[in-house]
A and B are shown apart, each in its own frame.
Chain A
């Protein structure tokens, strides 16, 4: 029992169990309070929110959601968010899977240069200012009036994910490829029949994090829809409420919008929290 001693020590038995859970209780309240405030607040009246009321709404105002969805046009933004996030996820998974596979398995002209470029782009971080040249380029290509521009910009260069997939593919035994080639598979066959099915775990990580990033993104989505407000995503629309003329009188609508933006990802998290946590270490510590 190699682990017994280790666990025994890490058990923190010197810290009374009560103390542990008091501390954790405070942390849990600290963590959950803003989320609960958002969801409960979305069902209150503006006066209850701004002038002080109970923890729970006096009456549950579900019509706040009706107002957000219908009057503030959140139905459209929700559909935009779904379309954008799903497209970004698919695009990221497909392109990273293909590139990661070939970089792990083949030598080809220019590969060293490409690897150096990808690596350097992971470390050069100029921040959101690079959105301007992307926007101008897509405008020159006449793509800026469609949601396609946002999807491309949000997917981004994917250098980190390419390395992630490449590293994972290197761990898949090459003998499997060779056996498939002897059996008459082409390179495309090796990819689609051998490597792709075996790289599902890492592609799930790429998908999960791409979806989360796309769903939560604010700056890229705001800039890419700057001239097309109808293409805005949920996060952009919610934050814009802060600057609306009636902002002071519409906290409940803001919170209803915020809830609409966070509840889908909360549901995803409810089912996939283990994968999120495991994926974080797969991506960051090993990579």
Chain B
């Protein structure tokens, strides 16, 4: 094969020109990438070792590993880690079966199925901030429509404080399921459509019934894609922040504080009603530890799913 774009075959000046030409294509994206991805990550990794109150508060002071030591002693932080796991677990445990069931019902090209798919998918294109505000009104203890309906139906006697300490996490998970189930339904539909028809046919010829075929052929063949879907669900749950910020602001009294939001609060106020004194160094350390925890969970998950592969 004629390798027309190999630079080694060319004299030096020509290879220089080729490189410049290539970078003229890369440059616009490279600028964005440097400003918005590379630089901020480098900045954060540097400031984990500093105490810094921001622009106009004096020179950052080097404190070594003191920020990390403080993270490990920070009780509220570790509570927020537990809340993140509760939230992620609650979200995944409802979304995955629901999404699979919906995909199972809607995977065929039939009248009505396409429309139902489009409706279930709808929340994923809407702003989680704006819908967070709507849910805040809907679940409001005294004036919210959810309590109004439940009381009118006689299901409850007194209004339930959906955003109070006791129920806030459940409400948050419910709204997260609302916002995410359509996504995972579409992933499952893509997976089901990849299951080969031949395997199913041969199972049928061997006398497998319909339920047997679903259980022994379709679900196992969905295995690889189920792994990817679960991983997407887990990692995305770690990153959720906007819905928490708008619906509960991490409250009441940190009951729904998740780790992404906890790091954020050392940089910016969570709500317009809150005044914070920024602690960028500490916030950076919190965020790095949180990213490490999320990374560990992902690696652990991949290990476990690999082990499961070997067993089957």
Q: Which residues of A contact B (CB under 8 A)?
A: 2-3, 5-7, 9-15, 20-21, 23-24, 27-28, 30-32, 34-35, 37-38, 41, 49-52, 91, 94-96, 98-99, 101-103, 105-109, 111, 114, 117-118, 121, 123-134, 136-139, 152-153, 155-159, 162, 178, 181, 187, 191, 212, 215-219, 223, 226, 234-235, 238-243, 251, 254-255, 258, 261-262, 265-266, 268-269, 273, 276-277, 280-281, 284-285
Contacts and interface: CB of A to CB of B under 8 A. Distances in A.
A106 B242 contact: no
A254 B132 CA distance: 12
B23 to A, nearest CB: 7
B71 interface: no
Given A23-B105, A126-B44, A181-B4, A235 B130 contact: yes
Contacts of A217: 127, 129
Interface of B: 2, 4-7, 18-19, 21-23, 25-26, 28-30, 32-33, 35-41, 43-44, 55, 101-102, 104-108, 112, 116-138, 142-143, 145, 148, 152, 178, 182-183, 186-187, 190-192, 195, 197-198, 200-201, 204, 210-211, 213-214, 218, 225, 228, 232, 235, 238-239, 241-242, 245-246, 260, 263-264, 266-268, 271-273, 280, 283-284, 287-288, 290-291, 294-295
B26 A10 contact: no
Contacts of B242: 218-219
- List of 4 A-B pairs having minimum Cβ-Cβ separation, nearest first: A157-B37, A218-B129, A130-B40, A216-B127
A6 B128 contact: no
A14 B239 contact: no
Contacts of B197: 2-3, 5-6
Contacts of B38: 117, 121, 157
B273 A129 contact: no
Contacts of A32: 119, 122
Nearest to B264: A128
A5 B25 contact: no
Chain B interface, >50% SS class: helix
Given A216-B126, A265-B127, A280-B183, 19 more contacts: A5-B197, A9-B210, A24-B102, A24-B105, A32-B122, A41-B137, A91-B32, A98-B28, A109-B19, A121-B33, A121-B41, A130-B44, A152-B35, A215-B127, A218-B127, A234-B130, A239-B130, A243-B272, A262-B126
Contacts of B37: 121, 130, 156-157, 159
Given A31-B122, A108-B7, A240-B272, A262 B130 contact: yes
A127 B152 contact: no
Contacts of B284: 129
B45 to A, nearest CB: 9
A94 B105 CA distance: 39
Contacts of B137: 41, 49, 251, 254-255
A98 B105 contact: no
B187 A9 contact: no
Nearest to B284: A129
